[in-house]
């Protein structure tokens, strides 16, 4: 029988109690945007790809016409001057089925345990179903001792929120990690949920950088956020104009 | 491959031929309401959580911002003065797929056998698709010898009812338990099926308390039942009023 | 992990190269009707029940309020004076998923092999999507040598029919049986497919009785067929009358 | 538990670093048409059938009334005078579920490895959602070294195309083959995607024949392509006429 996951190593890093940061697709794509920005800006190196029958049955084609089987990729970065070692997990898809999501998360948590992971941080969006100007960051933890440090960084812990729980890898990595004794926190950036939200990703990364004592250049995320802002304000203007026009033609109709 | 279920023990109880009582979500949420009331009122202690890839892939967040992987929880209570030892199984979800429901129930039945379970009682609602003032309790058994004792407590056994069978854990625990030689009964409280029904849960618990010789304080269930009654009578009044109003405006129309 | 199937024996029969006859639910319920009639009329004895996580997750409740886990049941009959030993497989459901159907059929074929089965006959309906007065019986075989004997009994073999293949247990038992070297034939009775069709079941059983040299009392199937005929002719009359009425009221409307 | 796949050998060929060519159903049925034409015209011999619980649960019935369990079939051809040995994989269905597609492709890639396969060529259609007069052939490879040879044969490699990746066996055999070190190329013929497209299949086979140094008689594919062309031009004429007619009746309406 085919294994649930095939874990291939491009390089086996020697890490010291690393922090694992997850950012897979989800609400507002907040987690994935944050994870990819972190990888791009902080000099991460890919070290492993996880292939699985629980991911979509397809290959992606790159700029050179080369195919790559759909996967979850793991990157690492050795900490500088007292910083902690870090790993980032990202990918184009979550597991396709509920059972597949469990199986994939369990594989990742097992790997994390083998690599001596000391903390799991999962990143995601918290859908507000309304426009959000200044996104707050909501937190949920497996270990009450983690709350204090994150509250100092502005993270809020709201009673029983999100009320529907945390779904997918961001929830399962914490839950299954907790069963193996690895503490974890989920950071959720408020987002409308209507489009990919770099502003929310940035809000999360501010917390990550504060907690881990690293400096992340936010220029590219800010640029993307500006583009989204322009797009939405243009969209809003267009909507207002077309409403205005409609009103006028309705007014005319009364005279017709 | 990930195990079908991860059974974690918070405490391993020493039980003497216990009775296992199941109350998971279902029609009118009758079984779960009854099970939770029993746990709250009779001083039950949690001793095990069952995690499974057949449950939803998510964590719930509690009042303190702590995450808890979705699970089935097992509670126990040592019997006082000649009472039987009891266990209660409850949780927020049933298995997600038909196969998952089988697998979860089989894990629970295996555990029940290991703990020396002498009787499985599954609790649920029997949907009437009409309002029910005084809910009867319907029974179905794996062992004809069980009928008499429950008939004395007012439980009715109707030929071939429910005609569509008993679906989910309440059915499977009996069926799979029977294959292992553990006798079982399903107690189904009549319920409209339109909303959570504490009155039906109470009717079931009267049977449970009678059979097991325990006294259950029903005050909180009665309070909940009263709230539901008030809600439904207010709803009915509102409906009648809006119908009345409609009739009047229709009458007026004839004069218009 | 839970086994794919749990095979429980009520009695282990000693059979001599038996013929296995399958009749599970399907088009016009033809196969199941035929199998159950055979069991009832020819003095079959149940010897095994097959429980499986690939069947619906439920128990059925019988006339005595006793629960029975959903299953496939196997019956046998020792042949009299030179007749062949026979087994009949029936049940209330097919496997729930395509994969589940494969797994169940493989379990049954393995069991059939263990019991020395010399021929698999699967019974089903061939949906015509029109009323059928005198249902023919269509055949399909895994072994060309079987055709002759059945053609003598009036079975027709039409090129590439059914064009969509034979789906479910009736197909899989032949296909998977063939891989184990057990020859097989599928007998499909023509049926409208609009309702349970005892006339079609009878047509199939005529072939079965002819081939196996047994005499089957058809009185009860004929009675059922008469009831269906009455029902459909009443239905037809009602339809004609309501059409007639409609025509009249339309005529009146022109005068209105 | 039933194996994921049952591989039966009709004949075990002795092959020398063969090329495996896949053509299963897909967009415009281009891959399957090409694979079947290759088998018919080049004197291939069937040597293996792969049965699987991940294929549809049914048997097909042939012209003689013989049933055949749904399968993937493998054919081979020993190369003549310096030609490479070839295998072709085809069948009536892809795996039914995403997971089933992975499992089947993994079984095939394992088999390919055992047989010493040196190259996997997967054939498919590239849906243009518009009529295509002269279909180009698009390529995607697992190994950049393969590009040059195919570009010389007119295959184009467009940046990141197909943008949605390559789905099903044509993608997975490359991806999973790559993990085992077997190089691979997918050849995609442009096609409208509206109907089975022999012209696109022909375009692909021109590349295959050029690369492998074989001569394929294209007469039958050309005949089929002519039939499709006639059909589509008749369809187009009918559409134009009915539009014309509609226009006229609309014109008349204005005079009415």
Quick: pLDDT tens for C119-173. Answer: 999 999 999 989 898 999 999 999 999 999 999 999 999 998 999 999 999 999 9
Residue B35: its pLDDT value, please? Answer: 98
Per CB-CB distance under 8 Å, the chain B contacts of C6 are 179
User: B37 burial class (0-12, 13-18, 19+ CB within 10 angstroms)?
Assistant: buried
pLDDT at position B30 over 60: yes
**Residue B256: pLDDT over 60:** no
Tell whether C168 lies on the interface with D, counting CB pairs under 8 A: yes
Question: In a mutagenesis test of the D interface, which of C7, C98, C168 is the best target, namely the one with the most D β-carbons within 10 Å?
Answer: C98
**pLDDT over 80 at C224, yes or no:** yes
**Taking CB atoms and an 8 Å cutoff, what residues of chain B touch C54?**
99
**Chain B residues with CB inside 8 Å of C51's CB?**
175-176, 179
Question: In the β-sheet with D58-61, what is the strand arrangement from edge to edge?
Answer: C166-167, D58-61, D67-69
Q: Is B180 on the interface with C (CB under 8 A)?
A: no
Residue A256's pLDDT is 42
Return the exposure string of A204-228: e unless at least 16 CB atoms fall within 10 Å of the residue's CB, then b: bbbbbbebbebebebeebeebbeee
* A100 contacts on D by Cβ (under 8 Å): 99
Residue A27 contacts B, CB cutoff 8 Å? no
Confidence of residue C217 (pLDDT cuts 50, 70, 90): very high
Average pLDDT, chain B: 93
Q: Say yes or no: C7 contacts chain B, CB-CB below 8 A.
A: no
Cβ–Cβ gap A59/D140 under 8 Å? yes
Surface-to-core class of residue C121, CB atoms within 10 Å of its CB (0-12 exposed, 13-18 middle, 19+ buried): buried
In this prediction, residue A250 has a pLDDT band, given cuts at 50, 70 and 90, of low
**Amino acid B251: pLDDT:** 63
Confidence at residue C140, expressed as pLDDT on a 0 to 100 scale: 98
pLDDT digits (tens, 9 = 90+) for D9-68: 988 899 999 999 999 999 999 999 999 999 999 999 999 999 999 999 999 999 999 999
Q: Which chains touch D (3 or more CB pairs under 8 A)?
A: A, C
Decide if B59 and A168 are in contact by the 8 Å CB cutoff.
no
Q: What is the pLDDT of residue D252?
A: 61
D145 touching A (Cβ < 8 Å) = no
What ipTM did this prediction achieve? 0.90
- Read off the pLDDT of each residue in A111-119 and give the average, rounded to a whole number: 97
Answer whether A141's CB lies under 8 Å from A156's CB.
no
Each residue's pLDDT tens digit, A1-52: 789 999 999 888 999 999 999 999 999 999 999 999 999 999 999 999 999 9
What pLDDT is recorded for position C248? Answer: 74
Work out the percent of chain C whose per-residue pLDDT is above 90. 81
Q: Kindly determine whether residue B67 and residue A142, on different chains, have CB atoms separated by under 8 Å.
A: yes
Condensed to tens digits (0 to 9), the pLDDT of residues D144-202 reads 999 999 999 999 999 989 999 999 999 999 999 999 999 999 999 999 988 999 999 99
Which among D1, D2, D66 has CB closest to C142? Answer: D66
How far is A212 from chain B, CA to nearest CA, in Å?
21
Number of C:D CB contacts under 8 A? 96
Task: Check residue B238 and give its pLDDT.
Answer: 85
Is the distance from CB of B120 to CB of B168 less than 8 angstroms?
Answer: no
The length of chain C is 256
Tokens of residue B162, six digits: 């429910």
C172 shares contact with chain D (CB less than 8 Å) = yes
From chain A, the residues in CB contact with D107 under 8 A are: 2
The answer to whether the beta carbons of residues A212 and A19 sit under 8 Å apart is: yes
Interface check C58 vs B, CB under 8 A: yes
pTM, to two decimals: 0.92
Question: C138-176 in b/e burial notation, b at 16+ Cβ within 10 A?
Answer: bbbbbbeebbeebeeeebebeeebbeebbbbbbbbbbbb
Among candidates C101, C160, C161 on the partner chain, residue whose Cβ is nearest the Cβ of D57: C101
Sheet holding C67-69, edge to edge: B166-167, C58-61, C67-69
Quick one: which H or E segment has residue B170? helix B169-179
Confidence of residue D256 (pLDDT cuts 50, 70, 90): very low
Q: How confident is the model at residue D254 (pLDDT cuts 50, 70, 90)?
A: low
Mutate to test the interface with D, among A50, A59, A99, A103 (most CBs of D within 10 A): A59
C70: contact with B, CB 8 A cutoff: yes
In whole angstroms, give the CA distance from residue B197 to residue B192. 8
Ranking A219-223, B9-13, B242-246, D230-234 by mean pLDDT, the lowest is B242-246
pLDDT digits (tens, 9 = 90+) for B235-254: 888 888 887 777 777 666 55
As a whole number, the mean pLDDT across chain A is 94
Partner D contacted by A61 (CB < 8 A): yes
The pLDDT of residue A237: 86
DSSP C187-230: EEEEE-SSS--HHHHHHHHHHHHHHHT-----HHHHHHHHHHHH
For residue A165, give the nearest of B58, B64, B65 by CB distance: B58
The per-residue pLDDT for B137 is 98
Q: Does B66 touch chain A (CB under 8 A)?
A: yes
* Whole-angstrom distance, CA of residue D179 vs CA of residue A71: 12
- Minimum Cα–Cα distance from D3: chain A residue: A1
Does C145 reach chain D within 8 Å, measured CB to CB? no
What is the enclosing helix (H) or strand (E) of A88? Answer: strand A86-91
Residue A11's pLDDT is what? 84
| C16-47 per-position pLDDT tens digit | 999 999 999 999 999 999 999 999 999 999 99
* Best residue in C49, C59, C93 for a mutation probing chain B (most B CBs within 10 Å): C59
Q: What is the mean pLDDT of residues B77-100?
A: 96
Cα–Cα nearest to B202, from B88, B33, B43: B33
Question: Taking residues C60-88, what's their average pLDDT?
Answer: 96
State the pLDDT confidence band at D5, using cuts at 50, 70 and 90.
very high
Using an 8 Å Cβ cutoff, are C144 and D66 in contact?
Answer: yes
With an 8 Å Cβ cutoff, are A167 and B54 in contact? no
* Opening angle at CA B106, ends B11 and C6, nearest 5: 150
pLDDT value of residue A232: 86
Contacts of B163 in chain C (CB under 8 A): 61
DSSP label of A78: P
Query: For the stretch D91-110, what's the b/e string if a residue is b when 16 or more beta carbons lie within 10 angstroms of its beta carbon?
Result: bbbbbbbbbbbbbbbbbbbe
Cβ neighbours of residue B174 closer than 8 Å, sequence gap 6 or more:
B120, B122, B140, B142, B166, B184, B185, B186, C59, C67, C69
Contact call for residues B177 and B107 (beta carbons, < 8 A): no
Cβ B69–A179 below 8 Å, yes or no? Answer: yes
Q: Is B7 on the interface with A (CB under 8 A)?
A: no
Residue D80, chain C, CB below 8 Å: the answer is no
Q: Is D120 on the interface with A (CB under 8 A)?
A: no
Give mean pLDDT, residues D86-102. 97
Provide the pLDDT for residue D57: 97
What residue of C is the nearest CA neighbor of B106? C2
* pLDDT tens string D117-130: 999 999 999 999 89
**Nearest CB to D98: which of A8, A56, A64?**
A56
pLDDT of residue C241: 83
At C256, is the pLDDT very low, low, confident or very high (cuts 50, 70, 90)? very low
Query: pLDDT tens digits, residue range D58-82?
Result: 999 999 999 999 999 999 999 998 9
pLDDT band (50, 70, 90) for residue D241: confident
Q: In what order do the strands lie in the sheet with C45-52?
A: C5-9, C45-52, C72-77, C86-91, C19-23, C119-127, C184-191, C137-141
- Of A213-222, A237-246, D200-209, the poorest mean pLDDT is in A237-246
For residues B167 and D134, what is the distance between their CA atoms, to the nearest angstrom? 58
What residues of chain A lie within 8 A of the CB of D174, using their CB?
59, 67, 69
**What local confidence, expressed as pLDDT, does residue D253 receive?**
59
Confidence of residue A251 (pLDDT cuts 50, 70, 90): low
Instruction: Name subunits touching B (3+ CB pairs < 8 A).
Output: A, C
| A214: pLDDT strictly greater than 90 | yes
Rounded to the nearest angstrom, the minimum Cα separation between C10 and chain B is 12
Kindly tell me if the per-residue pLDDT of C234 is higher than 60.
yes
What percent of chain A has pLDDT above 90?
Answer: 81
pLDDT for C10 equals: 87
- What pLDDT does residue A105 have? 98
Mean pLDDT on A109-125? 97
Least CB–CB distance from A67: residue in D158, D159, D174: D174
Judge contact between A38 and A214, C-beta under 8 A.
no
Q: Do chains D and C touch (3 or more CB pairs under 8 A)?
A: yes
Pick from D1, D57, D65: which is nearest to C139 by CB?
Answer: D65
What residues 93-112 of chain A have any CB closer than 8 A to a CB of chain D? 96-97, 100
pLDDT at C152: 97
The chain B residue lying nearest A101, using CA atoms, is: B57
**In angstroms, what CA-CA distances link A51 with A2, A48, A54, A58?**
11, 10, 9, 11
Which tens digits make up the pLDDT trace of B104-146?
999 999 999 999 999 999 999 999 989 899 999 999 999 999 9
Mean pLDDT of chain C: 93
Establish if C43 touches chain B: CB-CB under 8 angstroms. Answer: no
The answer to whether the beta carbons of residues A57 and D106 sit under 8 Å apart is no
Distance, in Å, from the CA atom of D61 to the CA atom of C162, rounded to the nearest integer, reads: 7
């Amino acid at each position: 029988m085919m294994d649930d996951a095939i874990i291939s190593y491009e390089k086996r890093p020697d890490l010291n109690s690393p922090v694992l940061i997850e950012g897979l697709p989800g609400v507002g794509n907040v987690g994935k945007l944050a994870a990819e920005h972190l990888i791009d800006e902080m000099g991460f190196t890919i070290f492993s790809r996880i292939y699985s029958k629980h991911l979509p049955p397809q290959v992606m084609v790159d700029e050179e016409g080369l195919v790559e089987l759909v996967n979850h990729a793991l990157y690492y970065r050795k900490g500088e001057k007292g910083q902690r070692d870090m790993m980032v997990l990202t990918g184009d898809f979550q597991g396709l089925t509920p059972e597949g999501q469990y199986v994939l998360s369990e594989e990742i948590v097992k790997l994390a345990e083998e690599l001596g992971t000391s903390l799991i941080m999962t990143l995601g969006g918290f859908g507000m179903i309304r426009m959000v100007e200044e996104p707050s960051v909501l937190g949920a933890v497996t270990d009450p001792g983690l709350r204090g440090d994150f509250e100092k960084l502005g993270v809020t812990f709201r009673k029983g929120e999100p009320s529907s729980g945390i779904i997918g890898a961001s929830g399962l990595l914490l839950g299954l990690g907790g069963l193996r004794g690895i503490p974890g926190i989920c950071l959720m950036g408020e987002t409308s949920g209507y489009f990919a939200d770099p502003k929310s990703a940035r809000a999360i990364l501010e917390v990550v950088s504060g907690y881990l004592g690293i400096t992340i250049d936010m220029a590219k995320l800010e640029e993307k956020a500006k583009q989204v802002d322009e797009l939405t304000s243009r969209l809003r203007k267009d909507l207002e104009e077309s409403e205005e026009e409609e009103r006028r033609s309705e007014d005319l109709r009364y005279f017709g």
